[in-house]
Each structure stands twice: as C-alpha cells, then as structure tokens.
Structure 1
C-alpha cells in the first residue's frame, strides 16, 4: 500500500511540474515551484520500498538509495524557502537568501551522507526500527526531520500569506489542501522526534513506527500533490467548456453583430483577445445602436408593440422585439440615407440594461435571435424598407 501511494504521489508531482513548465515560468518563484514539484516527485519514487529494493541491487553503499531520496526532499525544501524568499524579498536580497540556504542545504545533504556512512548499516526497509538507536543514525534522522520541519514551516507561512488573496476559487482550495499536507508533514516530523527520543531511552523499538511514519509521510505528500493538481484539473476541464460557451455566445450574437458591422465597420474594436471576445461584441453592438439612433423610425416601437400584442407576447419579450425591430429598421433607413432625427439625442435609446455585462450579453442574444428570426421584426423591417425606397417616402431630414 505504501509503495502504491508513493508511486502515485510521484506521478502527481511530476505531472504538476510538467504542466507548470508548459505554462511557462514568469519569475524565479515560479521556476523554483516547478523544481520543487519535480524533486518531490523524484523523491517519492526513490523512497518507495520497491524502488529502494531495486536500487539496492547496484547501490555503492547500503541504504544509498534512501540517502538519495532524502537528499531530493532536502532540495525540495530548499526550493520552498527560495519560493518564499522571491515572494517576500527584493530581487538581490532574495538571491542572497536563496544562495545562503542553498549552501545550508548542501551541508545538510553532505552531513546526512557522512552520518549514514558512519552508522555502518545494512540495507533495511525498516531502517528506523533496526538502526534508529545508533547515535549516527539518530543524528541522521534528527537532522533530516529538522530540515524538513523548517521547510514545511516556510511552506505553511507562504500558503497562509497567499491563499486568502488567491483570485480563483480552485487555486484557494488547492492551496488549503496543500496546507493540510504541510501540517501532516509537521506531524510526521514531530512523530519522528518522539520515536528518536523513545529509541534512545528504551531498548525496544516503538511499535508500529514504520506504519505510522509511512501513513503520515504519505498523507503529507499526497495532500500536497493533490492540492497542487486541483487547480490544473479545474483549468483543464474549465477551459474547453469556457471556449465552447464563448463560441456559442458568439454564434448567438452573430446575426445582429454581422449586419451592424457590415454597415458600420468602424464599431469594431482594435483589441483582439479571445477571453473578451463576447464582451467586445456587446460593446460593438451598443456602439452601433448609438450610431443608428438618427435613423430610428419614430413609429417602429408602436408597430412592434402592436404586433406583439396580436401574437399574445407579453413581459420583457415585447422589449426584445421592439429593440430588434428598431435596429433592423434603422439599418434599412441608414442604407437609404434617410434620417428621421436631426439631433440623434431626440431618438429613443435602446434598452439601458442593468450594467451587468453578462446580463447585457444574454439580453442581446435574445435580441439577435429575434432580429434574425421573428416574423414581426421581419415584417416591420420590410415595411420600413418599402417606405424609405418609395417615391412617396417622407423627405429625409438633412444631417445637421
């Protein structure tokens, strides 16, 4: 079970590192975050029991694979401290702090190697149970636990600083899960300390030491990995859905937007950003409404309202039909060069909306549908077209 959990954690951590690397590292903190997850993933693989047995077949010294795995954890802890440094310090001060802690981490790794060699051990999966009461191994485990605890403490401080301010809910959830993992890691460090003290004071090993240690360490690593992968999974699922929803909204607005854009190409905004394409369409349509106000037939509202009443249409759908008919008829008048209002400010303004861009989008989608498909709108549009093209049409008011 422990073997399986560590391998799964290793896969999760390496997956997070790959995804973050593909997204690009905008700064030093992001680069160290990628390195941290990569090191944790490799460490999880290295200290899995099956990996330790495999490495034992060719390792130069007994338990060398365990030292490699523990060294990778130390390196990951240094990356956490580097992330914190580059997050809360200025560039040069952060760099000096990172170098200092890098030197400390290097000395810790070297000291662990020396202590392991001095411990004169043989390969054992139950390493702590068998050798934990030997002074060099006690020192090895104490040093390793202390450095991990320092890294986890820095990790908790970093997450507490930024989880509340995280802009996305998925990111906040992920950070909180990672913080739970860090607390589980601190419990692991505390447990290792208790075990070491008992081993020094008692001749018999602590019962279930290996099981509790594996449970706490695996829980910590799993929660940190899961917390890291939550935002990636949400983004992976959300982004295609968001793109599909955007495409659907654009298709729904297309009948109305394409016609007003053909007549008034100047409404198209220069900004080209897929994330705001729908909102851009809304703004462009509203700009077209304002530009067409001088061409709004004064009787169209009454005609549209009357047509809606005959069809039994009630509620805000009447206003949808009115706005669609006003826009459609204004396009016909514009094409014929017929202005009904010397001063556009005297024309009736379109639906003012609520100020909520999403509500405005949904409203214009309904207007666009009526613009393209409603029989009353088409009838009024045809009526205005005949009027402005007829020799009996009212003489256009010259622009002022």
Structure 2
C-alpha cells in the first residue's frame, strides 16, 4: 500500500510538472520553471519515501534515502519561494532573492551531506544526527512559515475565485508542513537530550501506524499534495473557465442577433462594420462587446420615439402578472417600449407627449459587459412576445 501511495503520487506530480513545462497556448506563465522544479522535487522526494525505492538505494548506501528525501524537500521549498518571488517582485529583485536562496540551499544540503557522512562513519552518532536535523528543520520551517504568510495574504487580495481557493489550499498545506517541522523539532530535542520520545528504529506499516508516522510521513505527504493542488488548481481551471466563457459569449452573441437586427434596421448608421457582423472563434469577446454597444446605441438613438403610453401599458400588465420590479418584468416593459420605438422610427412618426425614460438600472450597468449582456438577453427574450398593438399604436 505504501509503495503504491508514494510511487503513484510521484507519477502524478511528474505529470503536473510536465503540464507546466509544456506551456498552454504557446505561452508559459511567470514562474513556470520554478513550479516545474517544485513539482519534480516533490515527486523525487515521494519516490524516495517508497519502501521499494528506499530498499534499493539503501542497499548501496545505508540510510541514504533519508538524505535524498530531505534534500529534495528543501529543493522543493526553495522552488516554492522562487515561484512566489517571481509573482510578487520585480524581475531584478526576484532574481536576486532566488540566487540568495539557491546559495543557502546549496550550503544547507552540503552541510546535511557532511553530517550524514560523518554520522555513517561514526556509527549513527546522535549528536551528528541532531546537527543534521537542525539544518534541515530550520530551513524547512522558515520557508514554510514565509510561504504560508505570503499565500494567505495573496488569497485575500486575489479577485479570481479559483486563485483564492488555490492559495488557501496551499496555505493549509504549509500548515501541515509546519506540523511536520514541529515534529522534527521534538525529535531533535529528544535526540539531543536522550529522552527517547521519538523512536527511530520502527518503520511505517501504514500512513498512521505507528502513531509517529502521522507526523513523519502523513503530514509531509498531505502538505505536498495540498501545496501541489493549491498551486496547480488555477492553472488547471483556467482553460475550463475560458472554454465556459467562450461558450457563453457565443450563445449570448447568437441570442442577441434578433434584437440587434430589429433595432439596427431602424438605425443602421450605428453599425460599426456592416460588412463584418459575424464572430469568429478567437474574437467572440470583441464581437459580443460590439453587438451590445450597437444595441445600446440604437436604444439611445431611438429615445425620442419611446412612447410613454406604451411603457405605462406594459408596466400595468407586468403589475397584473406580479412581475413588476423584477428583472424579467422590467425587461418586458423595455422590450415593449423598444418595439414601439422601432415601429415609430420606421413610420417616421414621433409619439406625442414625453418619451419613456431609460430602463431601470441603465446607469449602474454601464461599462459592465456581463451585466449589460444579461440585461439585453432578457430584453431579447421578451421582444418577440410584444403584442402587435404596441407596434400599431406607435406607428399611428
């Protein structure tokens, strides 16, 4: 079970690393290589945890699996900070901080290797092992704490939902890393004072047994998985959100076409490019935006043809049906007024009396494409249901 858990996790992490390196749409986002290094380091650390791999490498050098997994974990921690620096700092400052962290990492790994070698040569000397653990846990705890604070702060500032949840998930993962660091600190004190609080001879049969495995194996494993998922989640959801947005843009563009044709037939001069009114796959946002602007420009151009009598009659009908004051009811009223205004413009007649005022919420929706599109979709849906009497009244 342990072999499958750690080997499978390593494979998944390597797949994530390949996803980042491959790039998306010919573009590699900021921090791509740092993220790839992070995932690859975590994958190698997990592989070194697998009993089969552990036995294989330790058949060559006894207890070396510990050094490998710890070195890969510190490399991953450094990659996490490199990723964060590239996101939050300017290019020159980020490179300077990354170079410093890489130097400190090299010194830490070199020190751990030296103490590990000395420990092996002196027959598992507890003082040397304590020095080894001190270097490892100091670097890891500082990195996890720094990353926890940074990701939680960024999560509060982020405007994208997937990014907020991803950063919060990463913060929780850093919390598990700190739990692991606390466990290692207790182990260090136990070794240094010969208290025997953390036995070092028993192997983990499951992720929770013996009990110390919940801290020595499960906590770092959960930390790695949560950090990986948290950092990768926004990148995985981005293509899905873009696909969903394009489908919404296409559906909205097509649904607004009947209304657009009606109003532009009365005010054709507002059409920005009469020879290009379609929308391709890669410019849906632009064409939808243009369609919404053209419909609103037509409504504005027809303001002198908006009969108040039609608006009052439509409002009374909405009140009778119980939809007055709702978006759907307001859209029914606006659709009736626009239909009457189009008919009056075509007939060349101007309604008597004051014109109907703009629809409710017009000012608040200005400049908000999703909100304006949603409103016009309601109007477009109500437009075909307008009675012929409204058109006749406006034209008479």
The higher-RCO structure (CA 8 Å, 6+ apart) is: 1
Q: RMSD across aligned C-alpha pairs, in angstroms?
A: 4.1
356, 360, 380: which one aligns with 1:348: 356
Structure 1's 285 and 50: CA in aligned 2 closer, same or farther, altered over 3 A? farther
Query: Does the CA-based 8 Å contact 2:119-2:125 persist in structure 1?
Result: no
Give the Cα separation in 2 of the matches to 1:106 and 1:173.
33
Give the Cα separation in 1 of the matches to 2:268 and 2:302.
9
Match for residue 47 of structure 2?
45
Q: Which runs of 5+ in 2 are unaligned?
A: 200-209
293, 300, 319: which one aligns with 1:290: 300
157, 169, 172: which one aligns with 1:165: 157
223, 226, 231: which one aligns with 1:220: 223
Greater CA deviation, 80-89 or 263-272? 263-272
Query: Does the CA-based 8 Å contact 1:12-1:225 persist in structure 2?
Result: no
Query: Does the CA-based 8 Å contact 1:296-1:327 persist in structure 2?
Result: yes
Give the SS at the match of 2:156: coil
Match for residue 95 of structure 1?
95
Match for residue 181 of structure 1?
173
115, 135, 153: which one aligns with 2:145: 153
Match for residue 114 of structure 1?
114
Give the SS at the match of 1:120: helix
Match for residue 367 of structure 1?
379
Structure 1's 175 and 370: CA in aligned 2 closer, same or farther, altered over 3 A? closer
What are the superposed Cα offsets for residues 346-394 of structure 1, whole Å, 9 maximum, x if unpaired? Answer: 643442426245665444323212323x261x4544x379x6xxxxx8x
Match for residue 270 of structure 2?
266
Give the Cα separation in 1 of the matches to 2:171 and 2:241.
24
Give the SS at the match of 2:356: coil
Give the Cα separation in 1 of the matches to 2:260 and 2:133.
69
Structure 1's 184 and 326: CA in aligned 2 closer, same or farther, altered over 3 A? closer
After TM superposition, give the deviation of residue 120 of structure 1 in Å: 3.0
Structure 1's 265 and 135: CA in aligned 2 closer, same or farther, altered over 3 A? farther
- TM-score scaled by length of structure 1: 0.73
Give the Cα separation in 2 of the matches to 1:113 and 1:9.
26
Give the Cα separation in 2 of the matches to 1:347 and 1:154.
62
Match for residue 327 of structure 1?
338
Give the Cα separation in 1 of the matches to 2:112 and 2:342.
80
Q: Which runs of 5+ in 1 are unaligned?
A: 122-130, 388-392, 394-400
Match for residue 141 of structure 1?
133
Query: Does the CA-based 8 Å contact 2:308-2:354 persist in structure 1?
Result: no
Greater CA deviation, 11-20 or 72-81? 11-20
After TM superposition, give the deviation of residue 289 of structure 1 in Å: 0.5
What are the superposed Cα offsets for residues 175-230 of structure 1, whole Å, 9 maximum, x if unpaired? Answer: 22222221221221222232233234439683444553112222322332333344
Give the Cα separation in 1 of the matches to 2:82 and 2:67.
22
Aligned length in residues: 367
**Which of these two proteins has the greater Rg computed from alpha carbons?**
1
- TM-score scaled by length of structure 2: 0.73
Match for residue 396 of structure 1?
none
Give the Cα separation in 1 of the matches to 2:389 and 2:342.
14
What are the superposed Cα offsets for residues 109-138 of structure 1, whole Å, 9 maximum, x if unpaired? Answer: 2333333333338xxxxxxxxx86544444
Structure 1's 301 and 188: CA in aligned 2 closer, same or farther, altered over 3 A? closer
Structure 1's 191 and 203: CA in aligned 2 closer, same or farther, altered over 3 A? closer
